[in-house]
A = this chain, B = another copy of it.
Amino acid sequence: MPKKAPPLNAERYPARLTRPLVDELVLNALSEDLGLAGDITSQATLPPTASARALMVSRENGIIAGLDLAEAAFRLVGPGLTFRPLVGDGDAVKAGSEVAHISGNARLLMAGERVALNFLNHMSGIASHTRRFVDAVAGTGAQICDTRKTTPGLRAVEKYAVRCGGGTNHRYGLDDAILIKDNHIAVAGGVGAAVRAALNFAGPMVAIEVEVDTLEQLEEALEAGANAVLLDNMGVQTLRKAVALNRGRAKLEASGGVDLEHVGAIGATGVDYISTSKITMASVPLDIGVDIKVSV
């Protein structure tokens, strides 16, 4: 199985979110922040003709993700604002790095700012945390994967942020791949029976993975023809045996107990993927702020 390419920022915007999705998410967020009355503070204190210039600056080191959503916030809040990104998604920034310029009508700019930042900070936080895990397995050939433990409504943007951080996406939902777990195995009558039932059900474009606890189950899964096997909570030595047993027949994914301290050792066992909900659930927003100058 060929090794993965270097992190995705080798090219700018490697796998842009679709425009319809971006616009739907951002309109929803603008509606949430502006309500029926809009930004009443600016209405009360700024002339309608005031203009503003703003500079987004990262206040800490990290990886950028979410510029398309920031752009959409300033485009959809009203006509006439200009958003100019100074870096690209997937780029590493340092504390003090300039991220984007925005200019135009002051009321509009201030009405869009928080939504833009809430997306950008949240997504960059995930990209940055993913990158820490990716760096920790550098050289091992293992890829860092996400899970379905994501914030409700934001799965697409969080999985995109994982890619910006150099990670790889696990399935997007219950609908796009088969992942057989303990209950399915119990009802189907064993690992092999469950995999065969899945092969019977699935067409040519559905990947089938099965979660196993032991090397015996692994062998059973491989013989049944699983595309991938999730090795659940195995220690490093067992993982190494699993890799040997596999002989490249299926993709192997290690899961459970993954943290920054141990992920390197897990990667060194030769597994193909290491999945963890930590990159989406235990990240904190990257501190990107905005400095605004209003002129009347």
How long is the Cα–Cα vector from A171 to B203 in the complex, in angstroms? 8
In-complex Cβ contact of A184 among B42, B155, B207, B272 (8 A) = B42
A294 x B187 contact (CB < 8 A): yes
Chain B residue nearest to A178 (CB atoms) is B41
A154 and B29 CA atoms in complex are apart in Å by: 9
Given A119-B152, A168-B203, are A41 and B294 also a contact pair (CB < 8 Å)? Answer: no
Chain B residue numbers with a CB within 8 Å of A217 are none
Question: Are B204 and A111 in touch, CB under 8 angstroms?
Answer: no
Q: Do A43 and B15 touch across chains, with their CB atoms under 8 A apart?
A: yes
Q: Does A169 contact B (CB under 8 A)?
A: yes
A186 to B295: give the CA distance in the assembly, Å. 9
List the B side residues contacting A253 at CB < 8 Å.
204
A124 within 8 A of B: no
* Option from B3, B33, B187, B225 in Cβ contact (under 8 Å) with A47: B187
Choose among B115, B143, B171 the residue that contacts A152 (Cβ–Cβ < 8 A): B115
In the complex, the answer to whether A225 meets B173 with C-beta atoms within 8 Å is no
A149 close to chain B: CB less than 8 A: yes
CB of B207 within 8 A of CB of A152, answer: no
- Count of residues in A whose CB is under 8 Å from the partner chain: 117
Instruction: Tell whether, in the assembled complex, residue B284 and residue A183 are in contact, meaning their CB atoms are under 8 Å apart.
Output: no
Residues of B within 8 A of A28 (CB): 152-153
Binds B, one of A4-12, A57-65, A238-246: A4-12
Establish whether residues B228 and A205, one from each chain, have CB atoms under 8 Å apart when the complex forms.
Answer: yes
- Bound: A124/B12 CA distance, A: 37
A138: interface (CB < 8 Å)? no
Asked if A37 and B77 make an inter-chain contact with CB atoms under 8 angstroms apart, the answer reads no
The residue from B1, B32, B110, B171 contacting A173, defined by CB atoms under 8 A apart:
B32
The yes or no answer to A145 lying at the interface (CB within 8 A) is: yes
Do A225 and B1 form a contact, CB below 8 Å, given A40-B178, A154-B153, A253-B204?
A: yes
Chain B minimum-CB-distance residue to A196: B2
Would you give the 0/1 interface string for A36-48, flagging 1 where the beta carbon is closer than 8 Å to chain B? 1111111111111
With an 8 A cutoff between CB atoms, is A265 at the interface?
no
User: Does A176 lie within 8 Å of B201, measured CB to CB?
Assistant: no
Interface status of A200 (Cβ within 8 A of chain B):
yes
A18-26, A96-104, A256-264 - interface stretch: A18-26
What is the minimal beta-carbon distance from A243 to any residue of chain B, in angstroms?
14
B30 and A20: CB pair below 8 A? yes
Q: Report which A residues bind B (CB closer than 8 A).
A: 1-5, 11-21, 25-48, 50, 52, 76-79, 106-107, 110-111, 114-115, 117-119, 121-122, 143, 145, 148-156, 159, 168-181, 183-184, 186-188, 194, 196-207, 209, 225, 227-228, 251, 253, 272-273, 281-282, 284-285, 292-294, 296
